[in-house]
Structure 1
Amino acid sequence: MDSIDLEVLKTCSAWLAAGQRCQLVTVIRTWGSSPRPIGATLAICEDGRVVGSVSGGCIEDDLIERVRKEGIQRQLPEVVSYGISADEAHRFGLPCGGTIELALEPLGPHSRIDELLERLAAHELVARTLDLGNGTVTLERARPGAVLERNGNLLVTQHGPRWRLLIIGAGQLSRMLAQIASAMDYHVTVCDPREEYRAGWPLPDVPLVHAMPDDLVLEMQLDSRSAVVALTHDPKLDDMALMEALKTDAFYIGAIGSRANNAKRRERLLQFELTEQQVARLHGPIGLYIGSKTPPEIAISILAEMTAIKNGVPEVLQINHATALASPPSAACST
């Protein structure tokens, strides 16, 4: 499953290969409330087909209508704004006073979309610089944590997985988690040294590494944009990964299991010369409570908790939300 950004780029490549004109629309600035974040993209084909999103739909409707009436005539990029006045805010579905600024970029061979896709296929994080004055494009390796920037006529957008997720175990739940996380801009790696999981891994774009989990954690040099989820139910594998992961700056470290099993796991981890503060970072039972039963539902609950932490949602709000959804509150997966 591709991320939205990757889906937009692949669709642009397909349209260009078919000889169709198309344009890439990017959110470059917002004021007040905005339906989509800075960096969100939309591609429009000359026949009115679209992929991606830059608003709740109203701005897309206006952009599509313009293309259908006028075609894609522009040769150079253009910056447009929506929602400057209260009337426009109402018309385009923006909250009163909200404004969104978009870059409209007509695409062609000079846009280097195929080269960008090749570099993304190699799991490279790429900075794409568009000169809004003449339409030229340059590509270079992006620095971790970089965000969209506009310096005069230069618009620099970031492409590729912004976050890393290491999953321990290659079972059914791991497959569900890997698929959804990939669509959320995570570069996912699955680790499982067990022989029975060497064959049949169904996700060609997600590497399955047959290594000892603790060795891989050390090799990956996890940082504050990394997460680790242990899903094997085997202490020999899960604990090995966790004891090294808890020493890193990874923003999220979680393990599947019941409250009782996780309490025992914490006791074991304290015997590996981890401090109480390090062990306290472990999330387990894993995930926000949403009444999940099936692997896809459990995967969603795990990613919901990861997303809340990544976005800085206070833990008390997470607990209150979970309590509102369930009575009595429980873990997303208690097995």
Structure 2
Amino acid sequence: MEGQLIDKLSKYIERGKSVALVMVTSQLGSSPRGVGSIMIVDDQGKLLDGTIGGGKVEEQAKEDAAKCIQKNTSGSFKYDLVLAETEHSLGMACGGAVDVFVKVFSKEEDLIVFGGGHIAYELSLMAKKLNYRLTVIDTRPEYLEESRFPDAYRRILFSDFEKNPFEIPDSASVVIVTHAHSYDAEALGLVIESKARYIGMIGSRSKIGYCYDEVKKQGVDENLFEKVHSPIGLDIGGQTPAEIALAIMAEIQAVKYNRPGGFLK
């Protein structure tokens, strides 16, 4: 049974589904199932396969596993199967205790970059290290060569994306750093109504104003511009492509984890 469950876990991971493997790691006294019992849970707390015994233990473990997936953090949990009010009590009369470990397997999140220039190249290096699935979109075929972006999931001509745009998931981050104002405006118009968690566009205040004015001509709700991070990146200084890319990626991470992006001191 465990072998089949692991096979199913692998298939969920291959399909890009965020799931958690929950395993009983310790058992004391009377408890539903023994050490090594496992189950697979999704980010909504739904049981996909396996069991650690059912009842309150399993329900609480499913809830904790869902929270772990949503935070993208693995962790250990202790459940006391007692009626007494303790820190880990589940209000049960079994009298035992169970420890479980939740291992999270998160799907790769998309980083979609419009523009294949110097900043995009530096972002591609960071994307690989941070486990983002990179898509690069450019008007110039020579900037989409596999040798330039060997780890990219997709390398797409701008015109092809315009004709057949793919759905941008709500966990995606979009960065607009093309080589021309007109393409920046076009790219923004293509993604502004998407559910992307982050949309950032490089440029000066005047250039940003130009792009916004162009997109407004499409009849876009002006309130949507509030979600665009432009000028792009955290204010950490630097002028080189690598430094700018670092500022952009730092802002993406801050938005991802809902952090202010300031000093910890």
Matches within 5 A, 1:1-335: 123=16, 125-133=18-26, 134-135=35-36, 146-147=70-71, 148=74, 150=77, 152-161=98-107, 163-212=109-158, 213-214=161-162, 218-223=165-170, 225-314=171-260
1: CA distance, partners of 2:168 / 2:10:
26
User: Which amino acid in the other structure matches residue 36 of structure 2?
Assistant: G
Native 8 Å contact 2:184 2:211 kept in 1: no
2: CA distance, partners of 1:271 / 1:254:
20
2: CA distance, partners of 1:175 / 1:262:
23
In the TM superposition, residue 191 of structure 1 has moved relative to its aligned partner by: 2.2
Structure 2 CA distance for partners of 1:222 and 1:122, relative to 1, 3 Å: closer
| SS of equivalent to 1:221 | coil
Native 8 Å contact 1:174 1:231 kept in 2: yes
Native 8 Å contact 1:170 1:192 kept in 2: yes
Native 8 Å contact 2:186 2:215 kept in 1: no
The aligned residue for residue 62 of structure 2 is none
Native 8 Å contact 1:222 1:245 kept in 2: no
Structure 2 CA distance for partners of 1:160 and 1:260, relative to 1, 3 Å: same
**Range that drifts further, 123-132 or 241-250:** 123-132
The aligned residue for residue 44 of structure 1 is none
| SS of equivalent to 1:219 | coil
**Which structure ranks higher in relative contact order (CA pairs < 8 Å, sequence separation ≥ 6)?**
2
Structure 2 CA distance for partners of 1:240 and 1:138, relative to 1, 3 Å: farther
In the TM superposition, residue 254 of structure 1 has moved relative to its aligned partner by: 0.9
User: Which amino acid in the other structure matches residue 198 of structure 2?
Assistant: Y
In the TM superposition, residue 174 of structure 1 has moved relative to its aligned partner by: 1.1
RMSD, aligned α-carbons = 3.6
| SS of equivalent to 1:129 | strand
| SS of equivalent to 2:258 | coil
Q: TM-score, normalised by structure 1?
A: 0.51
Cα deviation digits, residues 206-255 of structure 1 (max 9, x gap): 22332444566x523321x2211011133443333322322123221111
Task: Give the number of equivalent residue pairs.
Answer: 206
| SS of equivalent to 1:306 | helix
Structure 1 unaligned residues grouped into runs of 5+: 1-109, 322-335
| SS of equivalent to 1:280 | helix
Q: TM-score, normalised by structure 2?
A: 0.62
2: CA distance, partners of 1:162 / 1:229:
17
Native 8 Å contact 2:233 2:250 kept in 1: yes
Q: Percent identity?
A: 27
User: Which amino acid in the other structure matches residue 249 of structure 1?
Assistant: K
User: Which amino acid in the other structure matches residue 216 of structure 2?
Assistant: L
Native 8 Å contact 1:123 1:187 kept in 2: no
2: CA distance, partners of 1:121 / 1:292:
38
Native 8 Å contact 1:161 1:187 kept in 2: no
Structure 2 CA distance for partners of 1:177 and 1:123, relative to 1, 3 Å: farther
Structure 2 CA distance for partners of 1:117 and 1:191, relative to 1, 3 Å: farther
1: CA distance, partners of 2:10 / 2:121:
24
User: Which amino acid in the other structure matches residue 209 of structure 1?
Assistant: R
Structure 2 CA distance for partners of 1:205 and 1:117, relative to 1, 3 Å: farther
| SS of equivalent to 1:191 | strand
| SS of equivalent to 2:175 | strand
1: CA distance, partners of 2:250 / 2:176:
16
